[in-house]
Amino acid sequence: MVIHYILLAVFYLTIPFIIYFLVNRYDIFRKTGSIFLAYIIGILAGNVGMIPTDLYNFQETFSGVSVLVAIPLLLFTVKIKALMHTTGPVLKCFLGGLVAVIITVASGYLIWGHMQPDMWKTSGMLVGVYTGGTPNLASIQTALNVAPEHFVLLNTYDMLLSSIYLLFLFTLGKKWFVKWLGKSEQDKLVKAESIKTNNYKLTSYAGSIGMAVLIVVLAAGTSFLFYGEVQMLYVILIITTLSLLLSFVPKMNGNGSSTNAGMYFILVFSVAVASMADISRFQEVAPFLLRYLSWVVFGSLLLHLLWCRIFNLKGDLMMVTSVALICSPPFVPVIAGQINNKNLIVGGLTVGLIGYAIGNYLGITLAWILKII
């Protein structure tokens, strides 16, 4: 039995390196994306009889620990101070995107919330993923104890709709939005503080991971002290808060390797949680979930457009901010290149990282509010 635990742990920890190799070596895998590959590999491993069924508790623990370690690693480099250097239009556009997501998630819950038990949890996860990204989706899934099958299905729908959303922006959207809202004057955009990513030594990774593990242990330990058990909601919020406080420490904030390490653990989590998903149960989930996500993605885009029209915010700024929220910061340089305004990259990355930072709070808070309603 012990050897099974060891082999499964080695499998989970090794697969991300294979994924990195494939993504960096072959265009087809680069276009597919590392997260998608992680889910495919995990689902296959979990549904072909490769993993013994009696290891489910170990899989659940391993995936949970992985995402807990990933959270601080991703938040250490968040540029909270950069918010003060970001121009007013960027902040207004960011606020509009947040409001649009919250309104569409809440209204969608009122429409479809009665169609499945615990839809308030789904709503909280949607706020997390569409204000931050997959790490927030994973964090809230862990905090609210959402079934792995449901998590994987939501993430699959999200990838599908996000692809359609990006395709629209890259083709018709970039023309329409600039035509309707106008284009930013590049010299008036204030550049926020850039992220330092020049230190990638092994000791740098070890230091970041060590600090992340220490934060997780501290959060779990105080949870045992106060509650007598690991209260995941408490643990997630404590980890998020401590990590953001440490982001003010220059040595931690300037260590770009922590972001890479964080994404590695997100891949570990993705493989692990996908391997727990029983694809035979996917048929139990009604297609209304796809309609709910479509409502949020494209409804929030429309509301964001109206917000920008009211406050006279430019079309290229709106697209960069929207992509940072809906698709996550890594897509910001892509859309900035498409609209030929790379001066927006730093502002887009900044608001996207702030979305990472507040996504857990917003998602969990709205989830509990909707549960009460």
> What is the reported pLDDT for 172?
86
Count of the separate structural domains present in the chain: 1
CB pairs under 8 A, 24+ apart, for 163-168?
165/297, 165/298, 165/301, 165/326, 165/327, 166/323, 166/327, 166/331, 166/334, 166/335
pLDDT in tens, 325-348: 998 776 776 787 778 776 677 778
* pLDDT for the residue numbered 192: 39
What's the pLDDT score for residue 103? 98
Cα(126)–Cα(289) distance, rounded to whole angstroms?
11
pLDDT at 185: 63
Q: What integer pLDDT is reported at residue 216 of this predicted model? A: 95
Distances in whole angstroms, Cα of residue 354 to Cα of each of 21, 91, 125, 309, 347: 30, 11, 17, 23, 11
Residue 195: the pLDDT is: 38
Q: Are 318 and 181 in contact (CB under 8 A)?
A: yes
pLDDT of residue 259: 82
Does this model's pTM top 0.75? My answer is no
d(CA 353, CA 357): 6
Structural contact between residues 314 and 181, judged by C-beta atoms closer than 8 angstroms:
yes
Report the C-alpha gap between 122 and 286 in whole angstroms: 13
Mean pLDDT of each 10-residue bin along the chain, 373 residues long: 89 95 89 82 88 87 88 80 66 94 97 90 95 85 87 84 84 87 62 43 86 95 91 82 88 80 88 81 72 95 95 91 84 75 74 85 94 88
Q: Measured between alpha carbons, how far is 166 from 328 in angstroms, rounded to an integer? A: 12
Q: Which domain holds residue 118?
A: 2-372
| Residues 210, 215, 220, 226, Cα dihedral to 10° | 150
Q: What angle do CA 119, 120, 126 make, to 5 degrees?
A: 90
**360 is written with which tokens?**
């857990």
Cβ(66)–Cβ(247) under 8 Å? Answer: no
Cα separation of the two ends of the chain: 46
The number of beta carbons lying within 10 Å of the beta carbon of residue 308 is: 27
- 71-86 confidence digits (pLDDT tens): 888 888 877 665 555 5
Give the model's pLDDT for residue 32: 75
